[in-house]
Amino acid sequence: MAKESSYSSVLLFIVSALLLTGGSLMASFPIFIFFGLAPLFALTDRANDTSTVFEKMEWVLLALTVYFLSIHLFDFSYIVSSMTYSILFTLPFIGQVWVRQTLGPRGGKITIILFWLALEYALLKIRPAESNFLADTIQLHPNWMRWNIHTGYLGASFWILITNLMVYQIFFSKSPFRWYWIVLAAIFLLGPAAYSYFLDSGSITRKDLVNLYADKLIVKDVTYLARGEFVVRTAAWVSTLILLFTFVKSQTTK
């Protein structure tokens, strides 16, 4: 099991809720979204056996509810949809705990990222126009994401999640404040945006995403038409394999 951070669950919830809300509301400079999920990653370290798989997940649920409400500027007429989304995206954290408890250290935090992206892909296939995606937080900055003709629009979701994982490693992991985690966090945070400025291509927008997956096919970029949402599609397949393997493992060890 991963070492628990010394921070209380309430503090982790408050920090996460504030950062996620800041990232959502500050659309012109949504930098906080790259840090807001890291405290929630840390909360999964609190569940230490199969009888407590849901332990501390209520704090994840609450933080995500605040985040999804902030997307709608805290209009409480969206409380039901916000809670629905928060329940849905709490599942990757619960899934990580279950995988870790079944497979041991092999069930690392990367599974949260895979499961989250797989859920975004499911939403994309079911409701492409109406769904909320993590990538939407930085949609006002297409110049940061010119590389997404290869990854898809939701490659930005992966960017946000993997940076949060590096932040988790810096502050909440078994070996915090190591220089290599700090360097990696800086690379993951700044590298994609810096690389984007060297590209001449335009970025894939949310409108392109919706057009492709709502069968409108009004997309000019041939590369995107051929690859689509490569990152989340791949994550969905890998997540399915992980869940199947974990299920089989859990049954054979009984």
Q: Domain ranges in the chain? A: 9-252
Q: Residue 1 — pLDDT band, cuts 50, 70, 90?
A: very low
Task: Examine the pLDDT at 242 and tell me if it is beyond 70.
Answer: yes
- Given a contact cutoff of 8 angstroms between Cβ atoms, the answer to whether 228 and 85 are in contact is no
- Given a contact cutoff of 8 angstroms between Cβ atoms, the answer to whether 131 and 66 are in contact is no
- Given a contact cutoff of 8 angstroms between Cβ atoms, the answer to whether 154 and 135 are in contact is yes
CB atoms within 10 A of CB 65: 20
Q: Could you tell me where the DSSP H helices lie in 104-178?
A: 110-126, 148-151, 155-171
What percent of the chain clears pLDDT 70, i.e. is strictly above it? Answer: 93
* Mean pLDDT to the nearest integer, 169-197: 94
**Tell me: the pLDDT tens digits for 47-99?**
765 556 676 789 999 999 999 999 999 999 999 999 999 999 999 999 999 99
Task: Round to whole Å and give the CA distance between 150 and 160.
Answer: 17
CB atoms within 10 A of CB 152: 26
Mean pLDDT, rounded, of the chain: 91
**Tell me: the pLDDT tens digits for 156-173?**
999 999 999 999 999 998
Task: Examine the pLDDT at 249 and tell me if it is beyond 70.
Answer: yes
